[in-house]
Amino acid sequence: MSTPLVFMMGKFAAEISCDRRYAKNHMWAHATGAETRFGLTAYAVRLLQDVYFLDWTVEAGRQLRAGEEIGQIESSKAESSLYSPAAGDLVQFNDALLSDPSGINVDQYGAGWLFAMRVQNSEDFLSPEGYVEHLESVWAVTQQTIKGQLNE
């Protein structure tokens, strides 16, 4: 495996694995044959911090639209909906995460994968370098949002 790229989130480093592609909703995509596995990037996990709850609102076997809500995630920092990063057929969920979502925290690019799909069009995904450029473009707004939440 090649050396990951690093995006600095203040004093914290988020590693961006170079062996996969990325969606702007902070999910990675790793093609394995006809299927593509998806998970949360190190950037997303760092923002969420300790993920302790995951729930899916759709079932495997279903065709999804890009941007369709598919579930919820809760952490020590946020509650958030999860959205499909692409259109395609949802093949399976990582069932191990339903009973213990800590894999998302400790191995986001491995055992912490969320679900697998047969993607209709993967051309919209960003390269690792493109994802880092995207992070650089949204980081100022992200910091303002974080500071606003801390001041509430």
Q: Are 79 and 54 in contact (CB under 8 A)?
A: no
- Look up the pTM and report it: 0.89
Tens-of-pLDDT digits for all 152 residues of the chain? Answer: 578 899 988 888 999 999 999 999 999 999 988 999 999 999 999 888 899 999 999 999 999 999 999 999 999 888 999 999 999 999 999 999 998 999 999 999 999 999 999 999 888 899 999 999 999 988 877 766 655 544 44
Between the two ends of the chain, the Cα-to-Cα distance in Å is 42
CATH number for domain 5-126, candidates 2.40.50.100, 3.60.9.10, 3.40.50.300, 1.10.3720.10? 2.40.50.100
Spatial strand order in the sheet of 115-119: 21-22, 27-32, 35-40, 115-119, 88-93, 63-64
Amino acid letter at 113?
W
CA distances from 78 to 29, 120, 133, 134 (A): 23, 31, 24, 22
Domains of the chain: which residue ranges?
5-126
Task: For the beta carbon of residue 127, count every other beta carbon within 10 angstroms.
Answer: 14
Give the number of other CB atoms < 10 A from CB of residue 145: 12
